[in-house]
Structure 1
Amino acid sequence: MTKDHSNIAILKEIAELLNEETEMIPMLNGALSKFLSGTKFETGWIFFIDERGKSELVVKQNLPDALSYNDCQHLKRGGCWCVSRFRNEELEKASNIIECQRIESAIEANVGEHSDITHHATVPLQSGQERFGLLNVASRNTVRFSDEDLDLLESVAFQMGSAIKRIYLTNEQQEIALVQERNRLARDLHDSVNQLLFSVTLTARAGIEMSEQPDIKETFKDIQQLTQEALTEMRALIWQLRPKGLESGLIEAIKVYAEMLNLKLAVNVSGVIQFPSRIEETLFRIAQEALNNVRKHAGVTQAEIYISVTATDVLLVVKDEGQGFNIEAHRHIPSIGLQSIVDRVHAVGGTADWVSEIGKGTELLIRLPY
């Protein structure tokens, strides 16, 4: 088999893998592995770079010890010509990197063998006008790759970029379908169960007015109170399924939700409230769950929320002066609500912690990157 035919075969195998995979990281890992195993390139890594220029190392293959040391700290930090050119929209095709500060810093740190990896080639991952990040590859004792090598690298990067776009579109469609299903469920709950509970409340009120026996009056009062509580729970559930207030902004949505729960809420904000939609909804869902916990377990009718925004993350604190709980007595997360919050936080790479003491309230601390 000639070299051209060999390259075509590699690109065909990669195309088949990219078309079959539905998960982003396994897809990129598999494609990079096939590419390295079928070409002269020996090691590679992929950066995703967001709209603000923040880079994230998402895939790596066959890195020498110097580059993989301490969770690839030298690849993740410091200056980098390829990332800088990408951010400035000056990198349009596969290119040789004459010197890489990150590789040089790893070698100078003397933290492991660099296996004669001193330079690398780079190529942007994109689909049309959308740019996602960089594919970097390197080989032992190679300072410069040939035009033919770079053409091959560009071809596989084109395939990867198209596959990344496909998965993003698929995820967006799934998110739209999920929102539509939430809206349908919220509508059904409002039109059926919510109306039934409201009818029971009216019936109980009529029973109180019509009955003259104290025991029967008291029974109807209990029914009315329980039904009213169930209505409040149902309205909160409908809001969780379909947060209408979010289009008016995160803070306003949180305030309206607290008001619906009959909680007096103080909100303190520092920094500019402007997040990606996924982070904004995550913050809203966490605030909802935290306020639900205050209403159900704290034994108070007021709470405080602090939101502090920096260039890289957001800190959300929800505080109450309620009855609290003994943290030492809980080997596991003490409530389903807190577990739900932890799950949401971990899903976006954040951290969750809480401080509580009997009789001295609870403080929930959430930090999310964005």
Structure 2
Amino acid sequence: MEQRREIRMPQDSGMQEMYTLKTIAETLNTSNDLSPMLDTVVGKLLELTGLTTGWVFLIREGGEYSCASDYNLPPALLHQDKEPMRCGTCWCVNRFRDGRLDNAVNIINCKRLEDATEHQWGDTRDITHHATVPLRSGEKMIGLLNVAAPGKEHFSEGELALLQAVAYQIGSAMERMRLYRGEQRRGDQYARLGEFSRALGLELNECSNADDMARTVVKLLGQHYEWPFVALIAQKNGALSIQTAHASTLGDTLLVNEMPPETDRLLQRVIQSHRAEILSAAEMVELSQVCGTRPPDSVMSSGLAAAIPLSPPGETAVLVAQLGSEMDSLLSDREVMDALAEHITASWESLRLVEKRRELTRLEERNRLARDLHDSVNQILFSLSLTAKGAESMLSGTAELHPAAEAMRDIRSLSQEALKEMRALIMQLRPAGLESGLLSALQEYGTSQGLQVVVNRTGMRSLPRNIEEGLWRIGQEALNNVRKHAEVTAADITLQLGDTEAVFIIKDRGKGGAKRKQPLPARSLGLSIMKERAQSLGGKLDLISSSRTGTSVTVVIPLPSELG
């Protein structure tokens, strides 16, 4: 006759059920750590019911499952580091995913055990069937509890009801632990946020530009958080590119890789949403490959990553972070990322204000120096010129030309030339006239140097102050070279403003470098300064000089995107 192994119960089965539920409840209340708690409670359940084997599957919203706990598995299910419990699928998991598993049920047979028998993975200890019970907290489905015993092929209604009651207890305890861990992690993450903000505030004054700021932000995030991967992606010249990234295994990396079209569309979606967006594992793999890094495999498969838009002044940026391997951390980490976005944006604004203060300080110093030069050296040169002219007049009025008259004439000429150079230097130190526009200021400056300057402009967008001043300085130097070397009195200046760049051209029709009596050295100081100014603005400068067509200086400067 078939022998059935029943769950052990005394004559008063009601008392046994109450005792079992009481013992399980006490066990659940002894720990706030999920894995040890599940191991303990599954073992206690099997001990109280006379069953021998049990395991718990946790199943995420996407359908991925993991074996969170097991007790006394037969050798066949321990094959290859418990591969049968990690891979493949089965009836109970499929029914759970489909939403058709509402109560405790008998499993006719276990596919995992059938596969183990078919592939001869080891002894199943005569276990062929199990009961499966959904774990839930209210309406939230969490996973499955499976229990079995050798030779037991059927569970009675009373047994299933007891297992269902135990599963409710376990599900409620797991939800309590999830909330507890979430609050713990939230508190920890906000404490880290405070430390991050203080560190960022201390290092802010060491940042000279937005790129320095990006590297500092990502470096500090890598230091203060446990996120395996962080990247800061910014929009420059109309295209998104990675400014810098940090991977826990590789440290900080400076990158300028442009985004593939698919990734660019993903990030544009994040920017347009104005809030944190969850990234899939595939999207995270793609981003890490663009960065030339790869987070650990243990977290790459989880898909727990988020991207949030930042709003630095006049720019567009996205912060991407691999949040970890636990689904429970997702909500608290997303909240922290929202707060981080506000802190980083505020720091960017602070950096902009710091740069404004630095610029005002430099402007004040240049104005002070210009005033001092005007009040001292300029006046001395003017007096020297008048004195030399007076002395020359007296010496020239004699019957015989005095030998010193020629020397006085040279002194007067040199002093007038020095006076003109000094006035040009003062004008460079204090760029009066930029209020009326770059081209008008250069036209006025050219007139003061005895040049007729024709200007032409295309495009209607405005120039940032630092770019306008940089082009003003380059234009001044170029006009000075025209006056000194081209042997002409006219020059053309063209400014072409596009969506992503400014093209600035100064051209003369002089003799060019090939016909100069004293050719400009290959490493001329003036040319070097112009090139350095262009490079400091992220652009480039090209000079073409010909004896037939004159000299042309072309400067190309990238422009930031204009905010709507």
Paired residue for 1:159?
343
In structure 2, do the counterparts of structure 1 residues 41 and 256 end up closer, same or farther at CA, with 3 Å as the change threshold?
same
- Distance (whole Å) between structure 1 residues aligned to residue 394 and residue 529 of structure 2: 45
Is the 8 Å Cα contact of residues 242 and 256 (structure 2) preserved in structure 1? no
Is the 8 Å Cα contact of residues 324 and 361 (structure 1) preserved in structure 2? yes
Shift of 1:95: 3.1
Identity level (%): 30
In structure 2, do the counterparts of structure 1 residues 333 and 27 end up closer, same or farther at CA, with 3 Å as the change threshold?
same
Deviations 1:89-118 (A, max 9, x none): x51x433257998986998x9x99897587
Q: Which structure 2 residues correspond to residues 124-273 of structure 1 after superposition, within 5 A?
A: 124-126=309-311, 133-138=317-322, 146-211=330-395, 212=397, 213-214=400-401, 215-272=403-460
Letter in 2 for 1:289: E
Deviations 1:59-98 (A, max 9, x none): 322399xxx9x94222689743544563x5x51x433257
In structure 2, do the counterparts of structure 1 residues 20 and 349 end up closer, same or farther at CA, with 3 Å as the change threshold?
same
- Distance (whole Å) between structure 2 residues aligned to residue 144 and residue 130 of structure 1: 36
- Distance (whole Å) between structure 2 residues aligned to residue 20 and residue 105 of structure 1: 30
Paired residue for 1:347?
536
The partner residue of 1:72 within 229, 248, 257 is: 257
Shift of 1:12: 3.9
- Distance (whole Å) between structure 2 residues aligned to residue 161 and residue 270 of structure 1: 34
Paired residue for 1:29?
215
Deviations 1:138-166 (A, max 9, x none): 36889997211201222333332232222
- Distance (whole Å) between structure 2 residues aligned to residue 9 and residue 339 of structure 1: 49
Is the 8 Å Cα contact of residues 120 and 143 (structure 1) preserved in structure 2? no
Q: TM-score, normalised by structure 2?
A: 0.55
In structure 2, do the counterparts of structure 1 residues 77 and 345 end up closer, same or farther at CA, with 3 Å as the change threshold?
farther
Letter in 1 for 2:427: W
Shift of 1:174: 1.0
Deviations 1:313-351 (A, max 9, x none): 11112222334336xxx9x85310000001100001001
Task: Name the SS of the counterpart of 1:190 in structure 2.
Answer: helix
- Distance (whole Å) between structure 2 residues aligned to residue 160 and residue 219 of structure 1: 67
Deviations 1:344-365 (A, max 9, x none): 0000100111112456532211
Letter in 2 for 1:192: S
In structure 2, do the counterparts of structure 1 residues 310 and 25 end up closer, same or farther at CA, with 3 Å as the change threshold?
closer
Paired residue for 2:510?
322
Shift of 1:304: 2.1
Paired residue for 1:15?
197
Deviations 1:150-185 (A, max 9, x none): 012223333322322222211111111111111111
Deviations 1:235-269 (A, max 9, x none): 11011011111111111100111111112222232
- Distance (whole Å) between structure 1 residues aligned to residue 436 and residue 460 of structure 2: 15
Paired residue for 1:310?
498
Shift of 1:229: 0.8
Task: Name the SS of the counterpart of 1:146 in structure 2.
Answer: helix
- Distance (whole Å) between structure 2 residues aligned to residue 49 and residue 59 of structure 1: 13
Letter in 2 for 1:368: I
Is the 8 Å Cα contact of residues 103 and 119 (structure 1) preserved in structure 2? no
Tell me the number of residue pairs that the alignment of Structure 1 and Structure 2 aligns: 357
Unaligned runs of 5+ in 2: 1-180, 560-564
Unaligned runs of 5+ in 1: none
- Kindly report the root-mean-square deviation, in angstroms, between the aligned alpha carbons of the 2 structures: 3.9
- Distance (whole Å) between structure 2 residues aligned to residue 312 and residue 274 of structure 1: 12
- Distance (whole Å) between structure 1 residues aligned to residue 245 and residue 322 of structure 2: 12
Is the 8 Å Cα contact of residues 319 and 361 (structure 1) preserved in structure 2? yes
In structure 2, do the counterparts of structure 1 residues 58 and 143 end up closer, same or farther at CA, with 3 Å as the change threshold?
farther
State which structure, 1 or 2, has the greater radius of gyration over its C-alpha atoms: 2
Is the 8 Å Cα contact of residues 190 and 336 (structure 2) preserved in structure 1? no
Task: Name the SS of the counterpart of 1:72 in structure 2.
Answer: coil
Shift of 1:369: 0.8
- Distance (whole Å) between structure 1 residues aligned to residue 461 and residue 315 of structure 2: 25
Q: TM-score, normalised by structure 1?
A: 0.80
Single out whichever of 284-293 and 18-27 deviates more from structure 2.
18-27
- Distance (whole Å) between structure 2 residues aligned to residue 49 and residue 176 of structure 1: 27
Paired residue for 2:40?
none
Letter in 2 for 1:74: M
- Distance (whole Å) between structure 1 residues aligned to residue 434 and residue 240 of structure 2: 29
